[in-house]
Amino acid sequence: MPVQQFAEFVSHADFRAGLAAGRMRVVVDRKLARRFVTQRLLLMVFLLPLIGVGIVLALAGELWAGGGFVAFGIVLNRVLMAQSGNIVVQLALRDARDYEAVTEGGVMEVRRTDAA
């Protein structure tokens, strides 16, 4: 039975300095990153009313304005979900609490590239 190797702990300060210097490799779980970004940025709190306003405008006769709101909400959601991995890395770089949340939650794994 093979011995499982666990990644060593990398502090937030080491992560920030090492990533900028190219000494860290980051692996992001895309599915978990989408969920984390949705919860962290409160996307549903913003997107559902935006799309709802679009639907109300469309039902009130303002088809172009309503369609624009709905399309903007859908496109914004798709773009943010496609970029969720990058967003997670940027949030982790900016805040130590976010870094701890994503590393402990399995959303992001940080590996040293110069380790032997």
Query: pLDDT tens across 12-27, in order?
Result: 898 898 888 888 889 9
Please report whether residue 2 resides in a domain. no
Query: Is residue 37 within 8 Å of residue 87, measured between CB atoms?
Result: yes
Please report whether residue 41 resides in a domain. yes
Domain count, the chain: 1
Please report whether residue 1 resides in a domain. no
Please report whether residue 63 resides in a domain. yes
Q: What is the pLDDT of residues 35-71, one digit of tens each?
A: 999 999 999 999 999 999 999 999 999 999 999 999 9
Buried/exposed code over 41-76 (b: 16+ C-beta within 10 A; e: otherwise): eebeeebeeebeebeebbeeeeeeebeebbeebeee
Please report whether residue 79 resides in a domain. yes
Please report whether residue 19 resides in a domain. yes
Please report whether residue 7 resides in a domain. no
Domain that holds residue 43: 12-112
